Structure 1
Amino acid sequence: MPQNRNMFMQDENPQFTELSIGDQLDDASIIDSIVNAPRPHPSTARIHTVPSLVKETEDYEKYFVPNQVSIGPKYFGHPKLKLVEKLKPSFTMKLLLDDKEVLERLFKKLGQAEMVKELRNFYEERLTDQFCDKEFTKMMVLDGCFILYYIQFIFGEKFEKCRGLNSYQIAFVHQDLFLLENQIPFKVLDEVMSLMNKTADWHKKIKLFIDENILVRRRPKTRCFCFGNDQSSREEKRDNGNIYPDHLLHLLHQSLTKKPNVPKVNSNQTISNRYTFRNASELKDVGIIFKPSGMMTLAHIGFQCWWFFAATVKLPPITVDDSTKPLLLNLIAYEMCSPDAAHDSWVTSYICLLDSLIDHPDDVKALRTAGVLENSLGSDQEVAELFNEIGTDLVPNYLAYLDAKNSIQEHYEDWRGTVISQLKHEYVKSPWAFFALLGAIMALFLSGVQVYYTVWGPKSQCDELCQLLKNNHHL
């Protein structure tokens, strides 16, 4: 019977069947063409462009496009960047102490065919096609020398030797050096430093320069970064767990997110995305105290329960000023497009954590009073809006800070936290209610003392006299 029904349908509407078969053949040919098509080579770029999703935002040019200086091929030749571009040759000669021989060796080293190919591969496909090898090498030399000149003569102790830039321009140059699309391979800086000798001293200067942009207010004394020049050394991990950096922004990201020696997540541990605590003020009400962490890394926050009602959350301290937002946005964009950083995405996760802790100016005040946040931007309202804006639509690593967040949630849901919160809201935050509560407690205590001495107090001579009078006079 089903067979007859199918035949009837075919006879009734033969066109429908033919179209269906034709469509199926077309679909199959499309699928076959895709399957059999040659696969594109995976991108080896290490200097990425800003993701298209970010480019659609309203303030894209304000936070991702350089204001004063072009570094690398992306914004080379931009009209508004010509002033600093004209200063690069003179800065290069000052950095090299007018030594033309060193300059020739530098051009020869960076101009080798294999070196040019390696440096071009740092950028995304077709980004450097407009430059011939000589133009590309010249750009690398001038930009590398400009960065080192800025670090030594403008940022460093020899500021008075700088000519041609005012303080306004210098501030934006500083910001431009950490833009995602405004980078050159760190290998270029290494080659310049090696030809100038005293490479170790230069690494110390770069380390200080990175530390000044690391966002945290207090920094422990650490060993400086040491980078090798050969290919194998760039692939090896260093003692501090960092690999050879791709560029300055990558180096900054490494410094911010270096992993401490903390226990790994247990495979049997419960992973939950249900966290009902809302902000720092609410956590403070249930007895959680915030303190700055001694570990200057965004990859770790600490939780410690002490006494019976209280607990401590240790967060890496962060300084918020005018440069914080563009720096954070470029670090987050770097994590979005870099496969290495995206694995952990600590900057994104930390900003999401702060966004969850900060809803109102009172939350900023709580973190600022605790020493976790230093406000050099303006009002607490501005800081709250900054983190709320940056944290919008961000997706953190769900494993980030798992232990600490679970501990915070457990403490938040504990009955002891509820009792503390109710006492604070009903009595501590109201002075007259607090004094009334204190008076009631004192009255209750004194009444208890009186009852105790009445019932269990030692007998005095007066008590014996009264008893004698009662017995003899029938009182």
Structure 2
Amino acid sequence: MPREISHQISISIDRKLSGLSNTTSNQQFIFKVHDGLRSHKNEAYEPKVLSIGPFHHGKPKLKKMEMHKLRYLKELLGRRGETNAHRYIIALTEFEDHARKYYAEEEISRISKKGFVEMMFLDGCFVIEFLRKNFKPELQNGNDTIFQMEWLSSNIMTDLILFENQVPFFILDKLYDMTKLPDERGNLIDLAYCLCDNLGFPKGCYSSIPANEDIIHLLDLVHKSLCSSFAEKLTTMNDSAANDDFSLEVVKSTSELQQSGIHFEAVKPGQNQSWLDITFEHGKMKIPSLKIMDETESVFRNLIAYEQYILKSWSCISDYALFLDHLIDSPRDVEKLRHRQIISNWLGDDEAVSTMFNKLCNDVAVDESMFCYTGVFKKVNKYSRKRRNKWRAHLMRNYFNSPWSIISFLAALVLLILTVVQTIFSILQYTKQ
């Protein structure tokens, strides 16, 4: 009897193994965000108006955009003088199997070949046509609803970089090359840079990506644009300090650091400084300015999700969010950073910004050995622990915090000096007698 049960269990397991698709040998790049991250703000990972790829395809609230996809395809074909999409479908059919392997979820296998290729084609054409029209406004027709309503084009921009709302970049690149007109210059990467400019990041903050760079999808492109120069700098610094102790330290909030004599200064990211590059020297912390808008939390959460699932290097966005989480403990800290023009709060509510940064890194794994701001944290803590800096800050805060207090101090000092001089003269006069 036990042998028979063992045999039945063995057969059952063999059947389950035979029915399991062999996806472990293929690296996957597009995932559904796990419940731990979703539990903090589920809507941050959900498209508002546009589905791209299979995970949100067919959702009722997103169906209105399907007509716009067809309209954009018709305009694209008309501009090229083509009457059908036959040659594009033939090309994409050859890549269908490779594209499927980008998706991690088992449910993708249930989509038919016809349905998958059609979805890749319509979604891909819409993306490149939208980016083209944004890059070249002269391509926008006078009755283009998407660009007539700024809220709609803005929501599409945000939807295009959601982690779950992606198609493989090689599909987009193939369609872009096939639909280019003879006089059209540039490449798809040039068109996609607008995604950085329209998401609240500083103008020109992104790094140039070589045309031959291996790009996974649009979210990967945005991440590389925002982080590559900073990550390269960190790698160089890490190589030169390979024997240092990289144990993770923490820093106090903005209010507490100011009490320790630390000053905050906003800087504008330039060609030699990334928007992620925070520095600390001689009691002054320099932080590039950041605009906080309605879509900022969704953008940060999806970039962080990307780092949690795919990235094997520096998690620049996660570490930046964690740094600001340390600096911001309350709305008062946001207010102080706002007054220093480090944060531009378009939400209009300091408490909302404080809450956002205090929750961004919940359920996010941090690699202590590769934390981007270890050096900054150590310098800050070393400075703030020195008693003379605390005393200096105490004096400045309590006795030199206004012009009148400084005048009063100088007046008292002059009076003290005169009193001492008068006392000395009195003593000298007495000794002469």
Instruction: Give your verdict on TM over 0.5.
Output: yes
Equivalents in 2 of 1:444, 1:102: separation in Å?
94
| Alpha-carbon distance change, 117 to 320 in structure 1, aligned in 2, over 3 angstroms | same
| 2:187 corresponds to 1:205 | no
Equivalents in 1 of 2:335, 2:322: separation in Å?
18
Post-superposition offset of 1:141: 1.4
Describe the superposition over 1:326-357 as per-residue Cα deviations: whole angstroms up to 9, x where unpaired.
1111111111211xx25322111110100110
| Alpha-carbon distance change, 249 to 222 in structure 1, aligned in 2, over 3 angstroms | closer
Code of the residue aligned with 1:219 in structure 2: it is G
Aligned pair partner of 1:270 in 245, 264, 279: 245
| Alpha-carbon distance change, 216 to 88 in structure 1, aligned in 2, over 3 angstroms | closer
Code of the residue aligned with 2:98 in structure 1: it is E
The answer on whether the counterparts of 2:50 and 2:62 sit within 8 Å (CA) in structure 1 is yes
Equivalents in 2 of 1:70, 1:385: separation in Å?
29
Aligned to 1:127, what secondary structure does the other structure show? helix
Code of the residue aligned with 1:420 in structure 2: it is R
| Alpha-carbon distance change, 453 to 48 in structure 1, aligned in 2, over 3 angstroms | farther
Equivalents in 1 of 2:414, 2:216: separation in Å?
67
Post-superposition offset of 1:120: 0.9
Aligned to 2:314, what secondary structure does the other structure show? coil
**Which structure 2 residue ranges, 5 or more long, are not aligned?**
none
Post-superposition offset of 1:78: 1.2
Equivalents in 2 of 1:366, 1:204: separation in Å?
37
Post-superposition offset of 1:303: 1.9
| Alpha-carbon distance change, 441 to 218 in structure 1, aligned in 2, over 3 angstroms | farther
Aligned pair partner of 1:157 in 120, 134, 137: 137
Describe the superposition over 1:40-66 as per-residue Cα deviations: whole angstroms up to 9, x where unpaired.
6525211111123223x1631x21111
Post-superposition offset of 1:299: 5.2
Code of the residue aligned with 2:164 in structure 1: it is E
| 2:204 corresponds to 1:219 | yes
The answer on whether the counterparts of 2:124 and 2:171 sit within 8 Å (CA) in structure 1 is yes
The answer on whether the counterparts of 1:69 and 1:173 sit within 8 Å (CA) in structure 2 is yes
| 2:261 corresponds to 1:287 | yes
Aligned to 1:129, what secondary structure does the other structure show? helix
Deviates more, 1:161-170 or 1:355-364: 161-170
Equivalents in 2 of 1:438, 1:395: separation in Å?
54
What residue in structure 2 maps to residue 179 of structure 1? 162
The answer on whether the counterparts of 1:352 and 1:391 sit within 8 Å (CA) in structure 2 is yes
Post-superposition offset of 1:74: 0.9
The answer on whether the counterparts of 1:153 and 1:162 sit within 8 Å (CA) in structure 2 is no
Equivalents in 2 of 1:354, 1:138: separation in Å?
43
| Alpha-carbon distance change, 95 to 429 in structure 1, aligned in 2, over 3 angstroms | same
Equivalents in 2 of 1:411, 1:205: separation in Å?
45
Matches within 5 A, 1:227-306: 227-228=211-212, 243-258=213-228, 259-261=231-233, 262-264=236-238, 266-275=241-250, 277-290=251-264, 291-292=266-267, 293-294=269-270, 297=274, 300-305=277-282
Equivalents in 2 of 1:391, 1:124: separation in Å?
23
Matches within 5 A, 1:50-449: 50-55=33-38, 57=39, 59-60=41-42, 62-96=43-77, 97=79, 99-100=81-82, 103-112=85-94, 115-154=95-134, 157-158=137-138, 159=140, 161=142, 163-165=144-146, 166-197=149-180, 198=184, 200-207=186-193, 209-213=194-198, 215-219=200-204, 223=208, 225-228=209-212, 243-258=213-228, 259-261=231-233, 262-264=236-238, 266-275=241-250, 277-290=251-264, 291-292=266-267, 293-294=269-270, 297=274, 300-305=277-282, 311-338=283-310, 341-398=311-368, 399-429=371-401, 436-447=408-419
Equivalents in 1 of 2:424, 2:172: separation in Å?
82
| Alpha-carbon distance change, 189 to 134 in structure 1, aligned in 2, over 3 angstroms | same
Code of the residue aligned with 2:352 in structure 1: it is E
Aligned to 1:384, what secondary structure does the other structure show? helix
Equivalents in 2 of 1:455, 1:272: separation in Å?
62
Post-superposition offset of 1:199: 5.4
What root-mean-square deviation, in Å, do the aligned CA atoms of Structure 1 and Structure 2 show?
A: 3.4
Equivalents in 2 of 1:296, 1:142: separation in Å?
39
Aligned to 2:291, what secondary structure does the other structure show? strand
Normalising by structure 2, we get a TM-score of 0.81
Equivalents in 1 of 2:191, 2:422: separation in Å?
74
Equivalents in 1 of 2:179, 2:124: separation in Å?
13
| Alpha-carbon distance change, 424 to 395 in structure 1, aligned in 2, over 3 angstroms | farther
The answer on whether the counterparts of 1:106 and 1:191 sit within 8 Å (CA) in structure 2 is no
| Alpha-carbon distance change, 454 to 190 in structure 1, aligned in 2, over 3 angstroms | farther
Equivalents in 1 of 2:382, 2:83: separation in Å?
67
Post-superposition offset of 1:148: 1.6
**Which structure 1 residue ranges, 5 or more long, are not aligned?**
1-21, 229-242, 306-310, 457-462, 464-469
Aligned to 1:315, what secondary structure does the other structure show? strand
Equivalents in 2 of 1:71, 1:416: separation in Å?
58
Describe the superposition over 1:156-188 as per-residue Cα deviations: whole angstroms up to 9, x where unpaired.
524554524444433322221111111001111
Give the total of aligned pairs: 402
Code of the residue aligned with 1:288 in structure 2: it is I
Post-superposition offset of 1:434: 5.4
Code of the residue aligned with 2:248 in structure 1: it is N
Runs of 4+ that moved beyond 6 A: 37-40, 451-456
| Alpha-carbon distance change, 363 to 437 in structure 1, aligned in 2, over 3 angstroms | same
Normalising by structure 1, we get a TM-score of 0.75
Code of the residue aligned with 1:121 in structure 2: it is K
Equivalents in 1 of 2:297, 2:286: separation in Å?
23
Code of the residue aligned with 1:203 in structure 2: it is I
| Alpha-carbon distance change, 371 to 249 in structure 1, aligned in 2, over 3 angstroms | same
| Alpha-carbon distance change, 177 to 361 in structure 1, aligned in 2, over 3 angstroms | same
Post-superposition offset of 1:251: 0.8
The answer on whether the counterparts of 2:128 and 2:172 sit within 8 Å (CA) in structure 1 is yes
Equivalents in 1 of 2:163, 2:223: separation in Å?
11
